[in-house]
Amino acid sequence: MVGYLYIHIPFCIKKCIYCDFYSIPFKSQIAGDYIKALCREIGLRKDVVGDLTTIYIGGGTPTILSEKEIAGLLQAMRDNYVIDPDAEITIEANPRTISEDKARKLLDSGINRMSIGIQSLIDKELIILGRSHNAEDAIKAVKNVRSAGFKNISIDLIYGIPLPKFQISNFKFQIQNWEYSLQKALELSPEHISTYELTPEKDTPLYEDIKSGRLAMPEEGVISEMYYKGIDMLKKHRYIHYEISNLSKPGYECRHNLNYWNRGEYLGIGAGAHSFFGGKRTGNARDISHYIESINNNKMPVAEKHYITNDEALKEFIFLGMRKTDGIDMKLLPDKKRVLMKKAVEELSSHGLVEVKGNYLRLTRKGLILSNEVIVQVLLSLEGSRPS
Ligand code: SF4
């Protein structure tokens, strides 16, 4: 039985230029139909859900829904599932969609963790990103959520934000901007901070802006300096660095996301939501009309299904687990695979990219910024390929 639940709300105020998630503009009629479908899917999935340890309402922008609609979703969960009394119940919020009164109502309905997409505390950067809020909105949102009584607030920040081409060689300016956002974020004292590197994904307006030369990405060296600056500044303020991009005050690590990195089972409800349980990964129909139609016809909206082989399971264990700063417990690997990995681990250690502490294999400080490349080398070694 699954103890971790994700609910997807695919509506946004407007599309940010870097976003490649499936999200659509909010329309109250379609949102109403979608919520009804979500409540029905909650009921249809009753058989696979055990006591819920975490619930994560993500998007899109879930707080674009009214407090009444969100309370209705939580009630549907209570009617169908058992929720642990100390369950972590998170909702993602956009600064423009959260007032003190709304936050208080969400708290009353059972939400106890708010994750606010701030991204930057510099207006010019927020305009470049195409966000619907400004720095003042962001600061006000965190303060509102705090005064409403939330004791667990997370904020997202983005570094490596592009600039108009004529400013891109001013490295000092870029680093100073990032320091400013971090400093302002620290003043808000959130329990949890995620710092994400901006990657221009294909088929986004940002990708086109870079291709056309309207915007330029910071240099790799600047991005890496920003990454370490973020980690070091937050650690200095007693935040614990527990995953490549995530830090928290002690005891406030995101339990829901830790379950993903621990390769735990979860159920995803809603258009495009993914699930992992019973040895398979599945994905719901992405298109909201298809999703609603399936549910209204009493059909599971599953559009993709993949049974995980033993080899795939092992690879997942490594590439998800090594995202955690504690790394992976090598004791949990079959002996044969540990032997295969030995050479790659020694080679990566000699370059200072990984280290073995007791039974644990983890990325070093130097390895963190190169995590993708390092993890690929470890995975290749499982197939008997030598790391380059
Ligand atoms: S608010 Fe989030 S999900 Fe919506 S468009 Fe912006 S980045 Fe994408």
Q: What is residue 386's predicted lDDT score, i.e. its pLDDT?
A: 53
Q: Tokens for 123?
A: 């207006």
For ligand 1, the distance from its centroid to the CA atom of residue 174, given in whole angstroms, is 23
The neighbouring-strand residues paired with 170 are none
What confidence tens digit (pLDDT) does each residue in 319-370 have? 999 999 999 999 999 999 999 999 999 999 999 999 999 999 999 999 999 9
Separation of CA 236 and ligand 1 centre (Å): 30
Going from the Cα of 126 to the center of ligand 1, the distance in angstroms, rounded, reads: 12
Atom of ligand 1 nearest to the CA of 19: 8
Distance CA 261, CA 324 (A): 7
CA 221 – CA 118 distance, rounded (Å):
24
Cα 87 from chain centroid (whole Å)? 19
Report pLDDT digits (tens) over 194-248.
Answer: 999 999 999 999 999 999 999 999 999 999 999 999 999 999 999 999 999 999 9
Q: Which atom of ligand 1 is nearest to the CA of 12?
A: 4
- Residue whose CA is closest, atom 2 of ligand 1? 60
Q: Taking CB atoms and a 6 Å cutoff, what residues make up the pocket around ligand 1?
A: 12, 15-16, 19, 21, 23, 59-61, 94, 117
Give the chain's domains with CATH numbers.
Answer: 2-261 (3.20.20.70), 314-382 (1.10.10)
Closest CA to ligand 1's atom 6: 16
Test site for ligand 1: of 8, 9, 16, 63, most ligand atoms within 8 A of the Cβ? 16
CB atoms within 10 A of CB 380: 15
| Ligand 1 centroid – CA 238 distance (Å) | 30
Residue 347 CA, ligand 1 centroid: distance in Å: 40
How high is the pLDDT of residue 385?
A: 57
What's the CA-to-centroid distance between 60 and ligand 1, angstroms?
Answer: 5
Answer for the pair 199, 254: CB distance below 8 angstroms, yes or no. no
Say how many Å lie between the CA of residue 384 and the centre of ligand 1.
Answer: 41
Report in angstroms the alpha-carbon separations of 64 from 15, 25, 57, 121, 320.
Answer: 13, 10, 12, 21, 31
Pocket test for ligand 1, best of 8, 11, 18, 61 (most atoms within 8 A of CB): 61
The pLDDT score that the predictor gives to residue 387 is 47
The pLDDT of residue 388 is: 46
Compute the distance from residue 116 Cα to the ligand 1 centre, in Å.
12
Q: Which of 23, 65, 92, 96 to mutate to test the pocket of ligand 1 (most atoms within 8 A of CB)?
A: 23
Distance between Cα 152 and ligand 1 center (Å): 22
- Please state the pTM of the whole predicted model: 0.96
Q: Quick count: other Cβ atoms within 10 Å of Cβ 9?
A: 27
Question: Which protein residue's CA is at the shortest distance from atom 8 of ligand 1?
Answer: 19
Query: CA distances (Å), 6 to each of 240, 278, 352, in order?
Result: 25, 17, 37
User: What's the CA-to-centroid distance between 22 and ligand 1, angstroms?
Assistant: 9
The low-confidence residues of the chain, meaning pLDDT below 50, are 387-388
b/e sequence 118-155, b meaning 16+ C-beta within 10 Å: bbbbbeebbebbebbbbbebbbbbbebbbebebebbbb
How many angstroms is it from 337 CA to the middle of ligand 1?
40
User: Which residue's C-alpha comes closest to atom 5 of ligand 1?
Assistant: 15
Please report the pLDDT score of residue 21 as a whole number.
87
* CA 14 to ligand 1: nearest atom: 5
Q: Which atom of ligand 1 lies at the shortest distance from residue 60's CA? A: 3
pLDDT attached to residue 84: 98
What is the three-state SS of 130-188?
CCCCCHHHHHHHHHHHHHHCCCCEEEEEEECCCEEHHHCCCHHHHHHHHHHHHHHHHHH
